[in-house]
Amino acid sequence: MATIISGKEVSAKVKEEVRAECDRLRQQGVTPGLAVIIVGDDPASRVYVNNKKKACAEVGFVSEEYALPAETPQEELLALVNTLNRRQDIHGILCQLPLPKHLDETAVIHAIDPKKDVDAFHPSNVGKIMIGDYDFLPCTPAGVMELIHAAGIEVSGKSCVVIGRSNIVGKPMAMLLLHENGTVTICHSKTRNLKEICLGADILVAAVGRPKFVKGDMVKEGAVVLDVGINRDENGKLCGDVDYAEVEPKASYITPVPGGVGPMTIAMLMKNTLSAAKMAAGLL
């Protein structure tokens, strides 16, 4: 039976550390501020934005929400980003993705000041992650690493397999494991012999966006399995990219869905916003 790595527990610790640091910052006249932009009324995006606002309140940040109608033109969205870039009381800017189809996500990401890019999606922040000299880490991969560390799992020398090559999770996840001396393989839709590659993994990260994709016969005995996916199964129930019932008996450690990687993503966003506020105040 696997040891369950609880994202609820680890994220609570991270947020408590951020809250304590925020209290100290406020005594120096700095209150971290996060601006969240949401365009349109995508239900999943609304849930995420509400959770981010709630987390800000928990740790003592100021949060501002900018809810724009779905038909908002590109120029108006970019003008808002530029206004927020100039505001000294806003330290982090986050534009909830996906955006409506008529908007250019890349242009919006590029418009955010890299020092306020708490999602770490701007090309300059992505480049810094590549060379290992970064200000922020993308929240989900950073959350996965936090769970690995909390469980006392050693990455160095291990065979690490990441299923998924997105810019948001897969690619940066691979880089973070590589920075800790893991031997990393990235798998994707064109990968041949996926099952055989996964069976060689000491640490397996599933970030493919397909419900219960990773089956028990793809995981070797004693592997560490980290499930980034948030999907609905055939009964409409929340599930991950990993078939938990099949994989849990074989793994040494596993993250559940819900309550695993999900809570960590928002906790790491709080950590990034705190870092942005400290940088702006010359305290980092």
Give start-end residues of each CATH 3.40.50.720 domain in the chain.
139-262
Fold of the CATH domain 28-115: Rossmann fold (3.40.50)
The residues pairing with 37 across neighbouring beta strands, listed in sequence order, are: 66, 95
How many whole angstroms separate alpha carbon 145 and alpha carbon 104?
Answer: 30
Residue 135 predicted with pLDDT over 90 = yes
How many whole angstroms separate alpha carbon 221 and alpha carbon 268?
Answer: 30
Q: Is 52 a catalytic site residue? A: yes
> Per-residue pLDDT averaged across 151-171, rounded?
97
Q: What is the pLDDT of residue 1?
A: 86
- Catalytic option among 15, 52, 158, 271: 52
Q: Is 119 a catalytic site residue? A: yes
- Catalytic option among 15, 96, 116, 243: 96
Question: Which tens digit of pLDDT belongs to each residue from 214-232?
Answer: 999 999 999 999 999 999 9
Residue 137 predicted with pLDDT over 80 = yes
> Per-residue pLDDT averaged across 236-265, rounded?
97
Side chain identity, residue 228: V
Both tokens of 20, joined, read: 């304590």
Question: Which tens digit of pLDDT belongs to each residue from 26-48?
Answer: 999 999 999 999 999 999 899 99
- Catalytic option among 15, 117, 119, 243: 119
139-262 maps to which CATH number? 3.40.50.720
Question: Which tens digit of pLDDT belongs to each residue from 5-17?
Answer: 999 999 999 999 9
CA angle 152/155/161 to nearest 5° reads 125
Q: What is the pLDDT of residue 145?
A: 98
The residues pairing with 134 across neighbouring beta strands, listed in sequence order, are: none
Entry pTM: 0.96
> Per-residue pLDDT averaged across 154-171, rounded?
97
Give start-end residues of each CATH 3.40.50.10860 domain in the chain.
28-115
Confidence of residue 71 (pLDDT cuts 50, 70, 90): very high
Q: Using DSSP bridges, classify how beta strands 238-239 and 231-232 pair: parallel, antiparallel or unpaired.
A: antiparallel
Residue in this structure with the two tokens 């705190």, named with its chain if needed: 274
Which of 62, 70, 78 shows the shortest CA–CA distance to 42?
A: 70
CA distances from 228 to 23, 109, 167, 172 (A): 31, 23, 14, 13
Phi, then psi, of 142 in degrees rounded to 5:
-60, -40
Residue 212 predicted with pLDDT over 80 = yes
